[in-house]
Amino acid sequence: MDKLSKTGGIFFAVGLMALGTEHFIFQDFITGRAPKWPEPIPGQQAWAYVSGVLFIIISVMILIQRNARLASVIFAALVFMWALLRHIPVVAADTFLSGAWTSAGKALVFIGGALAVAATFPKESSLKNAQILKFINLEREFIVTGRICLGFFLIITGIQHFLFVEFVASLIPRWFPGDAVFWTYFAGVMLIAGGVGLFIPGTARLAAFLSGVMIFSWFWIVHLPRFMVSVSDKIALFEALAFSGVAFVLMRFPDSKKSAP
């Protein structure tokens, strides 16, 4: 379990590094599917480059395990401020469970996932501000947040499989055996089950493992073959890698009141 959770941290960091690189390619803050840059405000390209560099540096810090806890929390804060907060009015103005919910959910997973990854590293001691240091060194709270964020996203996307059957079925490769509509419904059920399982203390680790395997399989079966189809598919490939990593990271912690729900 420990080895798989460490592998999950690597998946998360590699996915983040790739997304940071894509900031330069697409010249925008694409991590967490942030809403479009406000047109009257200058600086889109500069912000894309600066945030891209920051995310690449943060991913390296996670991989080499140097100030990785602080780096992960900084990443979560950046996505929270520039993606999730900006998603809220978009989601509020759109229809229930629309595509805007998916984008906001992805930002949520990055935030909770980064905090969960932070909890796997040694506590920080170099900061002088006691309150900030106390927050950065949280463990159980970060784990709970990671499980809630991933669980919420899985449930939302699972329901969307039943609402947007034709679209989801179109993502399944033609060579994949069986009926695409059947696999759409099956995946929807599995997503909802995984999400619910993350909220239940006795099943959280198993749900994290199975969800991680499921998302990682989609990295190869669904997202990699579609990598050249669109900009969204280029982003989705590395989101899938990072999200599977988040799920595997959440396996590290036992299902007990002392450690995590």
Residue-wise pLDDT for 106-135, tens only, equals 999 999 999 999 999 999 988 888 899 999
Compute φ and ψ for 42, nearest 5 degrees: -80, 165
Report pLDDT digits (tens) over 198-249. 999 899 999 999 999 999 999 999 999 999 999 999 999 999 999 999 999 9
What is d(CA 134, CA 141) in angstroms, rounded to the nearest whole number?
Answer: 12
What are the Cα distances from residue 143, in Å, to 72, 105, 118, 260?
13, 17, 9, 6
What is d(CA 205, CA 250) in angstroms, rounded to the nearest whole number?
Answer: 7
The answer to whether residue 180 is domain-embedded is: yes
Q: Does residue 29 contact residue 38 with C-beta atoms inside 8 Å?
A: no
Question: What pLDDT shows up at residue 128?
Answer: 82
The answer to whether residue 225 is domain-embedded is: yes
Q: By CB neighbour count within 10 A (0-12 exposed, 13-18 middle, 19+ buried), where does 4 fall? A: middle
Question: What pLDDT shows up at residue 4?
Answer: 87
Q: Which amino acid would we find at residue 11?
A: F
**Domain total of the chain:** 1
Q: Does residue 121 contact residue 65 with C-beta atoms inside 8 Å?
A: yes
Residue among 110, 175, 118 at smallest CA distance from 143: 118
Question: What pLDDT shows up at residue 259?
Answer: 42
Percent of the chain topping pLDDT 90: 89
Compute φ and ψ for 237, nearest 5 degrees: -55, -45
Percent of the chain topping pLDDT 70: 96
For the cut 80, the answer to whether the pLDDT of residue 258 exceeds it is: no
Residue with tokens 């899985």: 154
What is d(CA 203, CA 223) in angstroms, rounded to the nearest whole number?
Answer: 28
Question: What pLDDT shows up at residue 254?
Answer: 62
How would residue 138 be classed by pLDDT, with cut points 50, 70 and 90?
A: very high
Question: What pLDDT shows up at residue 69?
Answer: 97
Q: What is the pTM of this model?
A: 0.94
Q: What spatial distance separates the first Cα and last Cα of the chain, rounded to whole Å?
A: 17
Question: What pLDDT shows up at residue 256?
Answer: 46
For the cut 90, the answer to whether the pLDDT of residue 167 exceeds it is: yes
The answer to whether residue 258 is domain-embedded is: no
The answer to whether residue 257 is domain-embedded is: no
Question: What pLDDT shows up at residue 87?
Answer: 97
The answer to whether residue 260 is domain-embedded is: no
Q: What is the mean pLDDT of residues 97-111?
A: 97
Q: Does residue 184 contact residue 172 with C-beta atoms inside 8 Å?
A: yes
The answer to whether residue 154 is domain-embedded is: yes
How would residue 40 be classed by pLDDT, with cut points 50, 70 and 90?
A: confident
Q: Which amino acid would we find at residue 137?
A: N
Range of the domain at 247: 2-252
The answer to whether residue 134 is domain-embedded is: yes
Q: What is the mean pLDDT of residues 60-71?
A: 96
Question: What pLDDT shows up at residue 1?
Answer: 60
What is d(CA 259, CA 7) in angstroms, rounded to the nearest whole number?
Answer: 21
Report pLDDT digits (tens) over 168-200. 999 999 999 999 999 999 999 999 999 999 999
Work out the mean pLDDT of the chain and round it to a whole number.
Answer: 94
The answer to whether residue 71 is domain-embedded is: yes
Q: By CB neighbour count within 10 A (0-12 exposed, 13-18 middle, 19+ buried), where does 98 fall? A: middle
Question: What pLDDT shows up at residue 255?
Answer: 56
